[in-house]
Structure 1
Amino acid sequence: MKLSKTTKLVTVFLSLFVILVVTYYTLEIVARNYVSSAYDETVSLTGARLSDEFYSSVSRAATWKSVSGYSSQFDFEIYNTGKSNLSNWIVEIDLPSDATLENYWGSEAVYDSERQCVLLRPTYYNNIIYSGENIAFGIIVNSNEVFTPTEIGIKGYKISSEMTDIAKQVILILLMVWFIVFVGLLVTRVNVRNYKERQRNDVKIILQSMNTFINFIDAKDPYTRGHSRRVAMYAAEIAKRMGLSEDEIQNIYYAGLLHDAGKISVPDAVLNKPGKLSDEERKLIQNHTVAGGKMLLQLSSLRGVRETALYHHERYDGTGYPDGLKGDIIPLYARIVGVADSYDAMSSNRVYRRHLNKDEIIEEIQKGSGTQFDPSIVKYMVDMINDGYVNVVKMETAEADENHERFHLTEDDIPGVYMGFQQ
């Protein structure tokens, strides 16, 4: 089942959404599961020990005399030198029994009169003290005597920054992979669209060339109108049944269309002569293979087309023309078209005879197996006669004869679609 482009795009975006959501919740789970422990330590303000994960400093920014005593401004900084982040921290600062809290900043502060201390909690923007970073806050305290805090208590929850960093790296890697894939899909889609457009233009050029050649050939030999297209259809079906690739099937189809291109060089009087041909006239007829090879010499973009026009009258036993090639030395396309061409000749009325019936044709083709035709190809042609495929082709081209405009090839005839039936 082929998905539409819209379905594919929706699938890509849904996949991205799922990846991001799963990764987000994975990070949350990792963060919650890797809380090392509750942290509750007293930290000296006179100098940090090397073992401290957190240390703090304090400076007296100003002191002034007031009616009730001395007011002092203290500026604090807490440094996180460990590998873990500290979340939901609380700082406890002991104060003298006569001290009162006048002001604070950089945190939320509450004076606990029972414990005679100030409790400072984070605001919305500094809830976490990240590894390698610090926070700053300050208070103004009034007391009867000037004093300086010597230690503070720090509480909170340590979160392993290593694990959260790993999770973040996973997210970044996934995003980079998605970005590369997404850009790759976009570039590929653009390239494919451009390629298909070029391919359509190429097919149009090929069709125009094919129709021109076929019209010339039909004008030269009206008794075989539709012959080239029938041979092309037979040859393509043989190639398909042989299991050849789609590209080869298409090329064989083109080769079948142009196999008689050299007949343009044969005089009308000779080509349409109802009686027996003289030796000289027979040579002129046979020379259409060489003439076709010369005409198609520059058509190298369609592999095998020129060789088919040149060698489709070679015989498997080496007695054919123009070069007397034998067996598998004869190009495969020419061997396939040779069988298809002979069948259509026997099944069509000619100026000098009536067509043969089904049994007579099968007898003639089987008689020529190994001498005129490649035995491995004969069986496919006989099967096509027996299963009625050839009759479908004849009906298709017969309708084209009745309405000449329909006889012209369209794009549906070329890229793997023959007679309106998808492969």
Structure 2
Amino acid sequence: MAGVLLLLLILFKHFVLSDRTQRMNRESSNLYFNFCQRDAEDVWLNVVPNHPLMHGTIYESKVVNRSSHNISNWKMVIKITKPVYLSNCWNGSIEIHQKTKGKTIVQPAVRLHDKEYDELKKLKVKKFCARKKPLLIYLNPGDKIIYYPDEEYSENIIPAYTGTDYHYTDIGFVFFKNDTEPMNMDFDFAKASLTYHMDDSISDNVMLYVFGVLFLMWLFIISSMIRLKIIKTAKLRDQEHDKQTIEQVMTVFTKFIDAKDIHTGGHSERVAMYSRMIAKISGRSEEFCQKVFYCGLLHDCGKISVGDTILSKTESLTEEELNIVRAHTHKGYELLKSLSSIPEACQTALYHHERFDGTGYPEHLSGKLIPEAARIVAIADSFDVMSTERYYRKGLPREKILEELKDNSGTQFDPEFVNAFLKLVEENRI
């Protein structure tokens, strides 16, 4: 966005604020200027004491304002392409850039036509001083002179076109040449350009309108992006709050379930944690890992319908009691099927006792037909059950548990997730 603003500022400066440049003899709807040799013959131009081949020419330039706006703050840059001598100019001042021995000497703007001959001889640029007038300033290819209009002669502002007359300013230069041939009628020893400021009104400047529209569009885009960012941040904050609330509710609910059996305290939370770790190391998405965590929390919620006497019984369960315990998968499904935001939860509650070889319950599903979340939770659930003490036995040693998982890989458990779990164990993360 900072780059877009910078581009707009550059365009504004270039099209609205910057000065304009016009080359000599180039047609333009705003301005026109040229150079031509003055028709009148001035005898003194051919009289340079002791230098019979030195002869000069007066060149006049007319700067015409063709636009409907005043032209101000203008200056003319004349770049020299052939050796000549500058003697005088009027009515403004002239700045001289002269290259000598690899260095550029700059003579600040001076009004040549107002200076006495003795004063002009003190100029710091390289010059030819005859015993008598005129003073001649050396100009070679690569040198340049800059003409600045004179406020005293009202040159600095060229009024706008009124509909009947074009306003203009006349300026003049005297150049000398040391040659047998007279100077060309054409201004062929230099290239000239004129830089100026046009006093546009805001209503007439099309580019200002364009810039204004672009700037408003930029502001609209920026404000829209800020608004979207605020909305997105608020939404993420609400989602995080909702997530924490859901987890808290689920955790409290699972504590009620686990409280039915003092030997299974914290079981659902541990299963949830292991399940998320298995999903993550298996390369599943963050969203899926979080859903698997919820599935682990709620997988045994159906046990709330199983009596305490059955859950805490130390002897072997009767067939009828086994059927009641196995029914907790259906009860869990019924409790969770309305949780539409996490459809995996009810599926996991129903299928976490299915076996990979199809011999589990309640529907004897096998392989990939068992929902992925249920296959993950089955491993986490079995590991925690074998690790903790129960009414009917003590917790098994870790080596024995890992051996059981390996032996039942491909029969009871999905081999992919068994390998993922074993990797977590190897990395000491479980």
TM-score by length of 2: 0.59
- Matched with 1:300 is 340
The within-5 A match list for 1:22-41 is 22-27=10-15, 31-33=19-21, 39=32
8 Å contact kept, 1:89–1:154: no
Cα deviation, 1:161-192, whole Å, max 9, x if unaligned, reads 9xx97865764464245223302212212211
CA distance in 1, matches of 2:73, 2:366: 93
- Matched with 2:168 is 154
CA distance in 1, matches of 2:359, 2:242: 38
- Matched with 2:428 is 388
8 Å contact kept, 1:85–1:159: no
Paired residue for 2:289, among 222, 246, 249?
249
8 Å contact kept, 1:40–1:153: no
| Shift in alpha-carbon separation, 1:378–1:81, aligned structure 2, 3 A | same
- Matched with 1:195 is 235
The within-5 A match list for 1:84-163 is 87-88=71-72, 129=160, 153-155=167-169
CA distance in 2, matches of 1:34, 1:234: 78
In the alignment, structure 1 residue 371 sits paired with structure 2 residue 411: yes
Cα deviation, 1:137-159, whole Å, max 9, x if unaligned, reads xxxxxxxxxxxxx9774349788
Partner SS, residue 88 of structure 1: strand
8 Å contact kept, 1:251–1:303: no
| Shift in alpha-carbon separation, 1:384–1:152, aligned structure 2, 3 A | closer
Higher relative contact order, structure no. (Cα contacts within 8 Å, ≥ 6 residues apart): 2
Cα deviation, 1:235-290, whole Å, max 9, x if unaligned, reads 10111111111111111100100001011111001011112111111111111111
Instruction: Quote the offset at 1:363 in angstroms.
Output: 1.1
Tell me the C-alpha RMSD between the 2 structures: 3.6
| Shift in alpha-carbon separation, 1:263–1:153, aligned structure 2, 3 A | closer
Partner SS, residue 283 of structure 2: coil
CA distance in 1, matches of 2:156, 2:266: 90
TM-score by length of 1: 0.60
8 Å contact kept, 1:262–1:295: yes
CA distance in 1, matches of 2:324, 2:165: 116
Greater mean alpha carbon deviation, residues 170-179 or residues 182-191: 170-179
Unaligned runs of 5+ in 2: 35-64, 75-151, 171-193
Instruction: Quote the offset at 1:373 in angstroms.
Output: 0.6
CA distance in 1, matches of 2:409, 2:318: 28
CA distance in 1, matches of 2:287, 2:235: 16
Partner SS, residue 389 of structure 1: coil
Cα deviation, 1:342-364, whole Å, max 9, x if unaligned, reads 11111111111112222211111
8 Å contact kept, 1:34–1:159: no
Instruction: Quote the offset at 1:135 in angstroms.
Output: 5.7
Cα deviation, 1:312-358, whole Å, max 9, x if unaligned, reads 11111111111111110100000010111111111111111112222
Amino acid at match of 2:71: S
Amino acid at match of 1:325: L
- Matched with 1:415 is none
CA distance in 2, matches of 1:216, 1:261: 9
- Matched with 1:265 is 305
Partner SS, residue 409 of structure 2: coil
CA distance in 1, matches of 2:377, 2:229: 37
- Matched with 1:213 is 253
Cα deviation, 1:185-211, whole Å, max 9, x if unaligned, reads 122122113312431442244134213
Cα deviation, 1:376-400, whole Å, max 9, x if unaligned, reads 111011111222111xxxxxxxxxx
The within-5 A match list for 1:8-47 is 15=3, 18-27=6-15, 31-33=19-21, 39=32
CA distance in 1, matches of 2:73, 2:396: 101
Partner SS, residue 32 of structure 2: strand
In the alignment, structure 1 residue 224 sits paired with structure 2 residue 254: no
Partner SS, residue 193 of structure 1: helix
- Matched with 2:277 is 237
Instruction: Quote the offset at 1:40 in angstroms.
Output: 5.5
- Matched with 2:323 is 283
8 Å contact kept, 2:155–2:169: no
Partner SS, residue 343 of structure 2: coil
CA distance in 1, matches of 2:229, 2:66: 51
Partner SS, residue 259 of structure 2: helix
- Matched with 1:320 is 360
Unaligned runs of 5+ in 1: 1-11, 42-79, 91-117, 137-149, 391-423
8 Å contact kept, 2:387–2:397: yes
CA distance in 2, matches of 1:349, 1:389: 22
Question: Number of paired residues?
Answer: 291
Greater mean alpha carbon deviation, residues 22-31 or residues 208-217: 22-31
Cα deviation, 1:71-114, whole Å, max 9, x if unaligned, reads xxxxxxxxx986x8662399xxxxxxxxxxxxxxxxxxxxxxxx
| Shift in alpha-carbon separation, 1:171–1:152, aligned structure 2, 3 A | closer
% same residue: 36
| Shift in alpha-carbon separation, 1:154–1:298, aligned structure 2, 3 A | same
| Shift in alpha-carbon separation, 1:89–1:241, aligned structure 2, 3 A | closer
Amino acid at match of 1:154: Y
CA distance in 2, matches of 1:302, 1:364: 31
Partner SS, residue 253 of structure 2: helix
Paired residue for 1:338, among 378, 385, 395?
378
| Shift in alpha-carbon separation, 1:34–1:298, aligned structure 2, 3 A | farther
Amino acid at match of 2:72: N
